[in-house]
Structure 1
Amino acid sequence: MTDNTPASDTPASEWGAGLLDLDAYLRRIGRPVPAAPTVESLRELHRAHVTAIPFENLDVLLDRGVRLDIGSIQAKLVESRRGGYCYEHNLLFAAVLERLGYRVTRLLARVGPLGERRRPRTHAMLLAEAGGTRHLVDVGFGGEGLLEPLPFADGAVSQVGPWSWRLGRAGDEWVLSTLRPDGWAELYAFRLEVHHPVDFEVSNHYTSTAPASPFVRHVIVQRTTPGERHRLQGLELDGNELKPGELHAVLEEVFGIGLGPEEAETLVRHVTSAN
């Protein structure tokens, strides 16, 4: 596939985009309905989503599993004002963009540097067409993920506040990197391939159940603002160790995630046994 060949996606109906409550989603992220599917609107929606909806894996640790149908994702991330991880975030955002008139391609990526052993495709992200150009769109990476879309071009670089990203070619793969104090570090690599919902279901099953997956071993929660990120892994919040009894309040006060007492106790038992 050449640079000029657009990756095609399966029909929006196969992904359930028509089931989305667009008005409820826009209220969730605090944005009005865009006047047109422009690059600027895409940028504003992307930033609003990342800063409004946290990244989190709590349902995996609560033994609920992670469902990828639009109804379930919407009930969790929009109606219950929870967060989710990459599949949930980006499948929801893909449905939003399609309802707003963007052409969207859903993709899967391998996380980590290319030089290491090949990892499974456990990350979901998107391409979106706006203004006659394509952009890498990813509202669900967590970690050092994008705050705004990145032009889909070899060598494209974006800087937003204190963070920078670069997109480049490596053979038949595209690689997203982020700038760290010691230089550029590869975040993930992907190919332009057609995917179907079943492909995402398989990747999601591995991510939410495999012993090697970090999401089954640790509490991982992140909230991004335009200038900073707050990250909780296990009982460590932004480099500071929490007491188990503080976990419930931190989830609500820092990340906007309200849990019931029994849910909070389950997470406390999990992080305590993991330490």
Structure 2
Amino acid sequence: MSRQSKAVKQLRQLINSDKFIIMPCCYDGLSTRLIGQSGFEVTFMSGFGVSAVRLGLPDTGLISYGEMVDQAQNICNISQIPVICDADTGYGNPVNIKRTVNGYIRAGAAGIMIEDQVSPKRCGHTKGKEVVDRDTAFKRIRAAIEARNEAGKNNEDIVLVARTDARATTGLDEALFRAEAFLNMGADIIFVEAPASKDEMMKIGKLGGCQMANMVEHGVTPVLPPKELEDMGYRIAAYPLTLLSASACAMKKALDNLKKGKIPDEILDFKDLQSLLGFPEYDEILKRLS
């Protein structure tokens, strides 16, 4: 069984259990290492985060499939836990979407998320979003499911997260309709993006299946405690910007101190930084093989 197949098996066992899943999101090798070392069981590669750290640009569809799948490979190679990867709109028509799914499988992803925004897409908690019509949205998910099922014959299936952004464009009823359709089509995880109140979140949670809540600090959706989300019917709480925002805040403070001629004090000890990055393991292997 390949590493990717083992990761899928782990992820499926997790989402089929009774455990509520807290899922911090990663964007590079360092954030992935930190999440795994902190004891979390799954992570999600955030498109917002990858666009920010790789390009220094906003999550507005500027990053390409090639750049995203390359980042996914780097992340999956270093991760000891399953990784779900953001694949945006699938990067084209249904044939493109099948290629995207297969590309993420080869990169090592245990899961992939496909959404129904118009391309180029943008962050789900910003203004200016548009979604494709129902037929196009359903074709995208059908293509992803077909690719997943075909790969499953070789034990390389992938967990499919189906996302809709229709709440912000055509209303909650349309978002619920699409989400339920995605669930009935065979998507593994359902994600209705950017509900604007607890009442809306409760309606989404009642759809059943494995529901994911997106906890964007200072975004559109109320950020609620995990227990409250679980009581509403959600199974997963994703935190897409927590690490990115925290690290950017820390870097800004450090730079402000340096500009004032001060040495930042809220930093890791050099030995701890080396340990985090794997220097001891590297030296041990080098010693053993030299």
TM-score (norm 1): 0.28
Whose helix proportion is higher, 1 or 2? 2
- Which has more radius of gyration? 2
TM-score (norm 2): 0.27
Whose strand proportion is higher, 1 or 2? 1
